[in-house]
Amino acid sequence: AVPGLDAKDIIDLQLTVSDLETADRISPVLAETGFPRWPGVLADSTKPSHPDPSVWGKRLHGNADPGRPVNLHVRTVGSPGWKFALCFRDWLRDDAAARADYVAEKRRVAALHSVDKSTAGYAADKEAWFTATAARMEAWVARTGWQPPSYLEPVARGPFRGTAQS
């Protein structure tokens, strides 16, 4: 999602839902299609802009294909976690210095956790960097006028090229 960024061989996806009840309701369907839910993951870590943990709810699903690991983050549209994920990606795409700093932090933390059996310690240790750089990202938002995408516009419906009209 961010050209030039060192990354682990895991695809991170964000699925947007209207509320966490919907996330829980579709959980069995996601599991049946190869994305089982990771038990115990109920929220993202808080960030300085929204310190209340209750607004960071999410659900996390993995996938059953060991050849292509996926983290499927299910977040509520408009929530701080949803917005942060999109903003962080776009900030790193736009700001070469932020991208370089994040790469350096990822490498530093990866070296600390190179023999760990899970990524939990790696993820936890990166949180301090997110907190320390939150003001930089917010300054970028103010400077660029960044806004998250709107999903309120209707999606075009067919017929699509290469499909038969019914």
Of 73, 57, 64, nearest to 20 by C-alpha is 57
Q: Looking at the whole model, is its pTM more than 0.75? A: yes
d(CA 24, CA 43): 13
CA distance 34 to 139: 39
Number of residues assigned to the chain: 166
Q: At what angle do helices 80-94 and 120-144 cross, to 10 degrees?
A: 70
In a domain, 81, yes or no: yes
- CATH number assigned to the domain comprising residue 31: 3.30.460
Number of H helices, E strands in the chain: 4, 3
Q: What is the number of structural domains in the chain?
A: 1
Is residue 157 in some structural domain? no
pLDDT in tens, the chain (166 residues): 898 888 778 889 999 999 999 999 999 999 999 999 999 999 999 999 999 999 999 999 998 788 888 999 999 999 999 999 999 999 999 999 999 999 999 999 999 998 988 878 888 899 999 999 999 999 999 999 999 987 655 444 444 444 444 4
